[in-house]
Structure 1
Amino acid sequence: MDEEPVFIDTPEGISTFVDYVTLQETRLGDAQPPLYFDIEGERLSRYGKVSLLTVIVYAGKGPERTHIIDIHTLGDRAFSTAGKHGKTLKNILESPQILKVFFDVRNDSDALYAHYGIQLQGIRDVQLMENACRQHTAGRRYISGLSTCIEGIPSRDDKARWRRCKEKGEALWNPQKGGSYSVFNKRPLPSDIVAYCVGDVRYLPMLYFKYRRGTEPWNKLIAEESQRRVSASHSAEYRPDGPERTLSPWSAEQNRQLDLWNAPRDYFSYEPDDDLDDLEYFEYSDDYDNDYEDWTRAPWQGPPS
């Protein structure tokens, strides 16, 4: 996936993209989700702005294709422009039959719903998948950021490359590091921001298949909890930067079920406190992803005047 991403900033480009997506094979369901998403923008939420939407389209045959959609330029047209078959990007995002993979869908969903009336469906949240794979209830208490998950991939070269792209991109957009959110709206888009956008989605397919399980009950749980995150992000009470965001969503009964599903073969021979997941899981960090930027004013209080 080293070829340049396709940059889409015209209604004609959206129409072509939508037609390409609608042609992808979706009958395999969870076995091969075709779409992996990430969104960038200023204080990404109902209180901020949506600038860029990055999508990996992977049909299971041939190379992955990466697209960056210029929401800043297109606005509503990005979601309302139809392809030859009458489908729009809004239709795709709201279709329960077309699976969409996000890493922590909450603020992305909040922003799409608040600004464009899009109600995401067919979501699989990789952050929840990683958490649900942990062996014991105690190890599932806190969720992990994307950086922690990428640190778990085997290739040192891939991890080093991702870190470099992340650091260069943050230096441009992160106000705490001397950058400005306005860089997401600069055209042509700086190459380091293109690499940053691509970097946040390029490992989602790898992580999805790393954490995915083959049992229907496990997949159903992930689907339901992913969709519950979407619904919660639409509520008036949703806090885009609330402290409770670091906690996993599982009920006591769900944790008991996950303990059983994740148990080693000698499940009844070990002590419950033994062999807990790595301590790194107990400290949440997202390395300044723009939807986790610390705001000087609590986001649920509204944007600064």
Structure 2
Amino acid sequence: MIRLTALLDLEYVAHLLFWLNFHPDECIYLSAKGRGFGEPDGVAILQIIFLNQMFILDPYKHGLRLFQIASTEDPMYTLQHVLEDPRRLKIGFDVRSLSNYLYSSFGVKMTGILDLQVLSILQQSDIESPFLPSLRTAVLSTKSGPVPKAIRQAVCERTKRSKAFVDQKGGDSTPLYLRPLPRKVMLYCANDAILLPYLMKSYLSLALPAQEEALKLSNSRLLTSRQKDFVLNAPERRLKDDGKSQTTLTASGP
């Protein structure tokens, strides 16, 4: 069971950093919510899933200070240090926009990333769609066995809730920026704590060479997301050459 904690004050972030420093070998899951990564104040909340808890942080309110505040025990141990540490595995889904946002807004150069969308591409080469898989598609088409009912329910709930916060789809992103966070926002965030670890099981079932390939491709995405010609929300496409399906993992276009 995952506990959700909103760390909207910086003093509590320092305590989170203490626990991250105390567990250097534990991976963390990353996600973010907002009106749009490319817009001013476009990211309202940053989610860190660590052990059996999800912590919701507030880059909208604190800006650069969020990434520079230090652990209660180590003045050099900051959130920026955690995100840039290649030894700490960070896991997300389609990390390009988040990586671009962190770099362009705060100078944070993420490393040590496993992008679960890349993993889905490698495992789902038979998918006919010309576009890369969404989180919903990746979960429902996983090769690790029948998708449990609880996971299917979490996928449907996340899809339904996400539309409610997307301005371009008739929703309203305002609740993501309210403090304290409304209950419906917390419930929306909670689904990530279910679905991302579920997808991670597919990675753990791979042979070591396949794991290394997924990590290599994931981190190449980070490099392209920090290039000047990177285009936010530009969909990557699957390419077909001589009747054979191929995949491009370049972030800036088809």
TM bucket, shorter chain: 0.7 to 0.9
1:215-294 alignment runs, 5 A limit: 215-243=207-235, 245-247=236-238
Given the alignment, which residue of 45, 69, 74 partners 1:81? 69
Any idea what the Cα deviations from partners look like across 1:28-61, whole Å, max 9, x if unmatched?
Answer: xxxxx52001011221137662210111102xxx
* Superposed displacement of residue 104, structure 1: 0.6
Q: Quick check: which one's strand share is greater? A: 2
Name the structure 2 match of 1:118.
Answer: 108
Mapped partners of 1:134, 1:161: distance in 2:
21
Which entry has the higher C-alpha Rg, 1 or 2?
1
Deviations 1:109-155 (A, max 9, x none): 0111111110000000111111112366x869752110112224622
- Give ranges in structure 2 of 5+ residues lacking alignment: 248-252
Deviations 1:150-178 (A, max 9, x none): 2246222332244224413422x222443
TM-score if structure 1 supplies the norm length? 0.70
Q: Is the 8 A contact 1:132 1:140 kept in 2?
A: no
Question: Residues 1-305 of structure 1: matches in 2 within 5 Å?
Answer: 1-3=1-3, 5-26=4-25, 34-45=27-38, 49-58=42-51, 64-83=52-71, 84-86=73-75, 87-134=77-124, 142-152=131-141, 154-171=147-164, 173-243=165-235, 245-247=236-238
Unaligned runs of 5+ in 1: 27-32, 59-63, 253-271, 277-281, 283-299, 301-305
Does the CA-based 8 Å contact 1:37-1:53 persist in structure 2?
yes
Q: What letter is aligned with 1:20?
A: W
8 Å CA contact retained: 1:37, 1:102 = yes
Q: Which residue identity is paired with 2:23?
A: Q
2-side partners of 1:223 and 1:240: how far apart? 22
SS at structure 2 position matched to 1:51:
strand
SS of the residue 2:108 aligns to? coil
Higher relative contact order (CA 8 A, sep 6+): 1
* Aligned positions, number: 239
Q: Tell me the distance in 2 between the aligned counterparts of 1:11 and 1:221.
A: 37
C-alpha RMSD of the superposition = 2.8
Partners in 2 of 1:236 and 1:78 — Cα distance? Answer: 25
Tell me which residue corresponds to 2:250. Answer: none
